[in-house]
Chain A
């Protein structure tokens, strides 16, 4: 049995208390340990991707108990990919937090950050729904701490709202698990697939209730329409590097829908066939609209970006709702893209807000690096809005191309295209207020050189290290666009493996004689 599979959970779990207890008085030490741990996590993730590339579904049995009785971790192409995405994003957010000093504005940033990584990696790797709940709680309780990091009135209030929302979601998750256990007698994802398939369609009412409840829970995480309202306030008020890391948290919800509702309640299972897709599709369409109108109506930069994240989740879930290998390939490509695009926007917005000392979309005198920030914001915005040449364009093109069924094409195409247009308008308006109109103001002041010398400390230039994480995220987006062919080929294999339900079930449930050691 490969012990590598559990390392993405164990490494942050060991590192976090070490940072929290031993290094809490030495920020330099904590920073070094946190960066080293996250870099190591990325290296492990690369190893896992290479391990999973053989197309096998690798199993890690905790305590070596056989599958339906013990908890298993499952590594396939999809989970390996998500762990890699998490670790790269975490590294970018962490460097930004250290370079801008966000981590020193409150206590225990690095310990909470590592616990957050532990929860996210665990949620991606687990093969058991109750274990998924536990990892959700781990990542949530860490995110509560990160969300209110460094405090402040607005942030505390938004944090309280976020915590209440997620606690209600967790309770709903438990109700769903209770219903599921009562009707099937198991909580292992592979075993569920077997048991649910055995239930005839007319007796599947309870299972359908459980599947729908689970979808609502994952929709809360993924910020789907009726339960998306927590996201803008949370992301807009969270510290920027935390908001960048949270870009993966919405994807945890989308991943859980993909994993559980494809394998356990997926297409072809008589009791639940088409149930989730019929709910998910209209909700995702409305989510796109909410995101687009939110972008148009936002009065604060962070709020604008948060709403664009809502819109991108809508696009992603429209593709997920098709529950077909082709659409899932598109969804996965768009998922990678929108994670980096959202993170990039939050990071560049943090630099802008710090220099302007204002989060509002009103013109204030231009900052010393107006041109640089305008270029960064412009690049990140076209990525998020889905214009060429960055990967957002290819991602949306793949999603549109995958949704050609007559029932969904008019809705999906018009929602995504009009939503993209509104997002472009919103970002253009914000960009012109932030960078263009503000250049008109210093012209009125007589001596700009004196103004610059006498400027307060906050006008200090953003150093290379502070801009580097944003550049890194942009490079990831560019790389995703340049290597779109190989990436899409890999993702095609990934979604093919995801939809191979029998392969997953037999890998998890059948003991393999050669793996006894």
Chain B
């Protein structure tokens, strides 16, 4: 199981980084989503992997349980990354409609032309 979890995190991270380096809005959003999945699995695994155990101490059986804290952390992380991805999609759409290009990098040729445009909105 360790091998599966570890390689899942690795593959998701590699895919996410590759997509982020494409520097166009849609692949970058997908890449960030993949990265956030990778980190969610990673945080989940940071409380050690265990199967069929409850996240609370049982008063009857022996003291074996799975760590509940990473599960709480991962919930927070999922909510935040989901919200952030939604914001990113909206801002990406806004930037696309304003500039009619979906490139993330800003070409420096704009600098000379910029002053006339962005002082007044």
Contact = CB atoms under 8 A, between A and B. Distances in A.
A167 B119 contact: no
Contacts of B45: 178, 182
Contact of A175 (B39, B81, B111, B112): B39
A164 B115 CA distance: 24
Interface string A124-168: 000000100010010001001000101111111111110110011
Contact of B84 (A170, A299, A354): A170
Interface string B75-90: 0110011011101100
A369 interface: no
A56 interface: no
Contacts of A171: 32, 35-36, 38-39, 81
22 contacts: A134-B76, A141-B84, A150-B121, A154-B117, A155-B121, A156-B94, A156-B99, A158-B106, A160-B88, A163-B87, A164-B28, A167-B32, A170-B80, A170-B84, A171-B32, A174-B36, A174-B39, A177-B43, A178-B43, A181-B46, A299-B112, A300-B114
Given A164-B88, A353-B119, A152 B20 contact: no
A506 interface: no
A140 to B, nearest CB: 8
Interface of B: 20, 25, 28, 32, 35-36, 38-39, 42-43, 45-48, 69-70, 73, 76-77, 80-81, 83-85, 87-88, 91-92, 94-95, 98-99, 104-106, 110-112, 114-121
A159 B120 contact: no
A141 B87 contact: yes
Nearest to A359: B115
Nearest to B99: A153
Contacts of A187: 73
Nearest to B35: A171
Contacts of B36: 171, 174
A159 B91 contact: yes
Nearest to B72: A130
Contact of A359 (B77, B80, B99, B114): B114
A482 B28 CA distance: 50
Interface residues of A, number: 45
Contacts of B42: 174-175, 178
A161 B104 contact: yes
A411 to B, nearest CB: 30
Contacts of A299: 111-112
Nearest to B111: A299
A160 B104 contact: yes
Given A157-B95, A353-B119, A144 B81 contact: no
Contact of B115 (A130, A156, A179, A358): A358
A168 B114 contact: no
A134 B43 contact: no
A3 interface: no
